Amino acid sequence: MEPKVLAILGQTESGKATFCENLCKLCGETIKTPKKEPFYYLKIYGLKYKNNPFYLLNTPGDENFMGEIKWALKVADAGILLVDTTSVLKYHNLRVFEFAKEEGVPLFVFLNKIDDLEKSNIEETLSNLNNTLEISHIPITYAFKQSNSFSLIDLIEEKVFIEEGLKIKYQELPENLKDKIIEMRDKLMESAAESSDTLIEKYLEEGKLEKEEILNGLKETVKKGNVNFVFTGSAKTGAGLVVFLEYMLHLPPSYKLKLEKENITPSNAIGFIFKNYIDPYAGKLSYGRIFVGNFTSDGVVYTSEGKEEKYTQIFIPKGDYLEQVKEVNEGEIIVFSKVESLTTGSTFSNAPISVSFSVPEMPFPMITMALHPETRADEDKISGAISKVKEEDPSIVFKRNEETRELLISGVGLPHIEKTVEKLKEKYGVKVKLTTPKIPYRETIKKPVQSVIYRHKKQTGGRGQFAEVHFHIFPLERGKGFEFVETLTGMNVPRNYVPAVEKGVREAMEKGPLAGYPVVDVKVQFYDGKSHEVDSSDLAFKIAAFHCFKKGIEQANPVLLEPYLELEIIVPDETVGDVVGDLNARRGRVLSLEKEGKRTKIKALAPMAELQGYVITLQGITAGRGYFIAKFSHYEEAPPFIAEKVIAESKEAQEKETK
């Protein structure tokens, strides 16, 4: 048997932590720090069942922490979708199903909380799953309510089962359930038979398959990913957990398929780092899965980025803690301690390597805020703290905007950013304030101005300063930037001063006349000027050019430009009208609507200023089911009421600075 790595998926409060902890306890492992939902990062558990290693990667159930799910699926043999049979099916289940499909990871479903006889509704939950995920769900184990209890049925064994510790006892089926169970078992056998011509022939001829044939058939069907097989039980009471583990020994595909999919044929040991934690006591802990070979303590690890580093200790997850070991084998989870070169997404080996696993694409960060350290001490510490936060969560993005001089933080949603700010404070002692980021407006001109002349003359005793420049200034098409043309004739201005003139213009463009934003989309023609053989210099011509441009642009009908973003918004069909209405209210323009199953992709353009915090409104309209990606599109002239407001705010800010 091979080690199994299972990604535990599901919405918040579906019982994932209880599921993982009780599986560990069942197999004799200790849980030192019980977790309660909700949690916001991957939690990794280790156990052994029948001496076979199992690793459970417990993922957050919150939409804001989807990045963690993608890293877990990258190394998992299968995903286990825990579904709460006592509550409404949330959109989160569809997103994780789609992520698993993208990664080629088969999904099993565990229908949980069947011990709540009053609220649990297994049939309705299964029906909702079929409709939401648009894929067949076929039970392997199932529960039937019997007055004040329930009977758990193993449909492959065709018997009732009772678990005592790690032992499974089988009993004959109750007469009143036989017909229903035969019907369900037939569906299971059909699914197994469809995996191969040999099995389908036998099934059509004999109308049944042996247990071993069903298992082999199901294993092949699992690989194809067109059916989700279902287990039923209670994480809280432990009902159904042992039978679940028993089938997990056989049904998930081999981890070696990951190598085939990535087209990797290594000659040495190879693995992939899927998580980094910065522990206050143990330092950096790098979690990886070994796909080929094994690793022993006190060795050297090499990465696909060309780095190599010595390490001493290695660990494996055991229960909910780490156990130091001398060797970790193929297929298992390994944890390196204090190895700086192992970043999340690193491919690692015990020898130099050139191949690497692909890295999952992180969810688009839908909200951006500006970070401001509260004190000078916080400012000194923030850089180191940010690099550690990024190690732990690659889906959070930090970027310094040189133009607005703001440090920006981008996350999937506001809770993602808030939890990161909380981590900065509690884990790294850095306090920050969040504000709405400044919008990078631009300024331009609408009409050409001919023959703008400026003379710079300064006499201060000794050598003075003299330069005169003559410009024509023209507006350019949107997005063309800046064009400088020199068309001097004669020798009024020596050509060696031309670079200084261009430099002066470029400096003047850094702050426009309206609100101090950069000037774009202009052409300056330097056609004439005057110089003095003693007093002219590069500095004099730069100053003259600076003021000539400023003078000319004032006369050229300057206007404010605002940035527009191109959006792709994915929403449920029934919310399209409300989402489009909201976009119109934000001065947005809908470009197209495209159907994608039960959802619609809205392509639109909207001003960046109107999209700050948009994710919060979108999730409100769609009950958390909408998401979007955005990229910069272009600049457009801002309407007068926007321009007036921006200009007034800019003047107010400038006045405060000068006080």
How far does CA 171 lie from the centroid of its chain? 47
Alpha-carbon gap, residue 493 to 508, rounded angstroms: 21
- Measured from the Cβ of residue 644, the count of other Cβ atoms closer than 10 Å reads 12
Q: Is the per-residue pLDDT at 463 higher than 80? A: no
Percent of all residues in the chain with a pLDDT value above 90, rounded to a whole number? 84
State mean pLDDT over 79-94: 94
Cα–Cα distance measured from residue 254 to residue 648, given in angstroms and rounded to the nearest whole number: 64
Above 90 in pLDDT, residue 241? yes
Q: Residues spanned by CATH 2.40.30.10 within the chain?
A: 271-349
Selected from 3.40.720.10, 3.30.70.240, 3.40.50.1860, 3.90.25.10, the CATH number assigned to the domain covering 560-642 reads 3.30.70.240
Handedness of CA 189, 190, 194, 198 (dihedral sign): positive
Residues 6+ apart with CB under 8 A from 539: 465, 500
Q: If one looks up domain 4-256 in CATH, what number appears? A: 3.40.50.300
Q: Where are the alpha helices (DSSP H) in 412-515?
A: 414-428, 498-509
pTM of the shown model: 0.89
User: How far is Cα of residue 460 from the mean position of the Cα atoms in its chain?
Assistant: 62
CATH 3.30.70.240 domain position(s) in the chain: 560-642
What pLDDT, in 10s, does the model give residues 538-587? Answer: 999 999 999 999 999 999 999 999 999 999 999 999 999 999 999 999 99
- What is Dmax (Cα atoms) for the chain? 116
Give the integer Cα–Cα distance in Å for 192 and 214: 5
CATH 3.40.50.300 positions along the chain are 4-256
SS3 557: coil
Residues in the chain: 659
Kindly state the average pLDDT of the residues 512-534: 95
**pLDDT score at 641:** 95
Summarised one tens digit per residue, pLDDT across range 104-130 is 999 999 999 999 988 999 999 999 999
Number of H helices, E strands in the chain: 16, 34
pLDDT of residue 449: 97
Q: Which pLDDT value is given to residue 577?
A: 97
Comparison of pLDDT for 55 and 38, the residue scoring more: 55
The answer, yes or no, to whether residue 37 has pLDDT greater than 80, is no
Question: Is 206 a residue whose pLDDT tops 90?
Answer: no
Output the pLDDT for position 267. 86
What confidence score (pLDDT) does residue 208 get? 84
Helix (H) or strand (E) holding 16, with range, is helix 16-26
Q: Does domain 443-556 have CATH number 3.30.230.10?
A: yes
Residue 414 has pLDDT above 80, yes or no: yes
pLDDT for 462: 67
Q: Report the mean per-residue pLDDT for the chain.
A: 93
Q: Which CATH class is domain 271-349?
A: mainly beta
3-class DSSP string for 294-324: CEECCEEEEECCCCEEEECCEEEEEECEEEE
Cα separation, 391 vs 274, whole angstroms: 11
Q: Which H or E run includes 470? A: strand 465-475
CA angle, residues 644, 649, 652, in degrees to nearest 5: 125
Q: Tell me: the pLDDT tens digits for 279-309?
A: 888 889 999 999 999 999 999 999 999 999 9
Question: For the chain, where do the domains classified as CATH 3.30.230.10 start and end?
Answer: 443-556
- Whole-number pLDDT of residue 360: 95
* CATH number for the domain formed by residue range(s) 367-435: 3.30.70.870
Residue 404 has pLDDT above 90, yes or no: no
Measured between alpha carbons, how far apart are the two ends of the chain, in Å? 75
Q: Which of 135-149, 374-388, 511-525 has the lowest mean pLDDT?
A: 135-149
